[in-house]
Homo-oligomer: A and B are copies of this chain.
Amino acid sequence: MAKTIARAPIRVRYHECDQQGIVFNAHYLAYFDMGSLEFFREVFGSYENLRARGVDTVVAASELTYRAPSRYDDELVVEVGIEHLGRTSLILAFTIVRGDELVTTGTNRYVFVDTGNLAKTAPPDDVREKLAALL
């Protein structure tokens, strides 16, 4: 399991639960996104700092495994680590827990793109080194 670099606390909202009283699965992908923003804040100070280096990220693929349902008012934490750092891509691993219990796990694969022309690109060395140092 990837080392945890950042954590995003989430309290489940009533209207995120479906007619069975459990969190609608699409929200977990939103929770992953909230985790990713904490990750980029932790590593670069803010997502804007990353963009200021001329690179942006685009989500290319996601995987989710739903391990236990969660319900209204549950206090969840999204733990985020690096699963893989490629030349032009980054895979973040997300582990959503409620206390000691796994709720949902999964990954997002991000592709680095040039903020100017939006073409796939390798990030500058300093960006890459900050990420590599966390592996």
CB distance from A39 to the nearest CB of B (A): 13
Contact of A26 among B17, B21, B27, B65 (CB under 8 A): B27
A24: chain B residues within 8 A (beta carbon): 15, 30, 33
Interface band, chain A: 20 to 34
CA distance A15 to B34 in the complex (A): 9
B26 touching A14 by the CB < 8 A rule?
no
Q: List A residues 1-60 near B (Cβ within 8 Å).
A: 13-15, 17-19, 21, 24-30, 33-34, 37, 58-60
- A61 beta carbon closer than 8 Å to chain B: yes
Known contacts A14-B19, A15-B24, A25-B59; 11 further A-B pairs (Cβ under 8 A): A13-B34, A14-B18, A15-B30, A15-B33, A17-B18, A17-B19, A19-B19, A25-B29, A26-B26, A26-B33, A61-B66
Residues of A within 8 A of B (CB): 13-15, 17-19, 21, 24-30, 33-34, 37, 58-66
Task: Pull 10 A–B residue pairs with CB atoms less than 8 Å apart, ordered by A.
Answer: A14-B19, A14-B34, A14-B37, A15-B24, A15-B33, A18-B19, A24-B33, A25-B62, A26-B27, A63-B64
